[in-house]
Structure 1
């Protein structure tokens, strides 16, 4: 992320985060690092507003790197039975929760930095694709799971049915599958066994794990979407 941000330039627009520059992207990611550090220290997240935390004063890339390094040190030193707040549905224990959450936060925003670099550099001139992924399918599957199970089941996140509720299956080529009940109030998500029967559903979104990861997080990707789910889900399900 830091390298691509430097290559893009701090004033470059970030096409995957409309209205942001690379400097805005680094400021957001760095504040999230420091917000996570506050949580790991036991702070009440209701009293810590990310936007109220100090941003970079000077070298934004160095400030980003410093926050990431401190966060890694704290996570490595934390005990497995750490007591700290979490905020997603069906989340793992706090130490693993924050390692996972920050891993996907940084991965998605690194893709944003890459998109900013490629939108400015005529040698590239394209948005990131699954071919640019430096992470494996297991990471992509875990990131899909965090979104569908953790974020989208919260009352404030996730798509809603415009009228009649419906069911949808998200299926990765790796065998991971999720059944979503999309209602007018909230989404409920159920993990499906990879070798179980295919449930009846009104719509299906499927494809390679990396394509699904990018698409569901609104960062590109081209999964098979015959029912137009992404168009319905992209705005209400968006997580920054």
Structure 2
């Protein structure tokens, strides 16, 4: 009898796992898209910085006021002593949305300070390991988003080759996006992902590129999807029925 209870519970758990793996990008409220494979929540605006600057030309000064110094691994670009980079207006281009790496880090700290969309854990996407460069790299949040979440294709722009989840976003750029992860072999470099070709590598932190803000985990209330709730209910009912039989005949 105990074996049957365990089998039913394992089946229910397995069904829930399959259901979770099948989904990928889900609207998580205004301005947010949840990736339940990478377990992160993206800003739905792929060029949020430029959008913010268009409505607030003083944005760059506000960012610098919040995070005047960015701490990184000591490198030749640090202008305020080893491991410290002092920001200035030239680190940003509000019109295009470009920022160097330090500007991008500071921008996410500004989002935190304003509790943007009700959250204060904004960051740049992470490159999980440094074992893959070039095409077909999904060892980063941006690589997973390009290939798995959005159905991108090697050598093709994400704006022209994608799946239906692409419509959840606005202002996705055919260009380079910063990763928040420094390049271990040379800390004056950081990882990037190029959405025009699906290419990943590292580049100098003082270059200007786009930034895509992300939140860890599910930004919305952690409520199971309806199908998951139903499966969980079926599993629980079976388990309860088994327990009742066990008590009666045990």
Question: Does TM, scored on the shorter chain, surpass 0.5?
Answer: no
Structure ranking higher in helix proportion: 1
State the structure with more CA Rg: 2
TM-score range, shorter chain: under 0.3
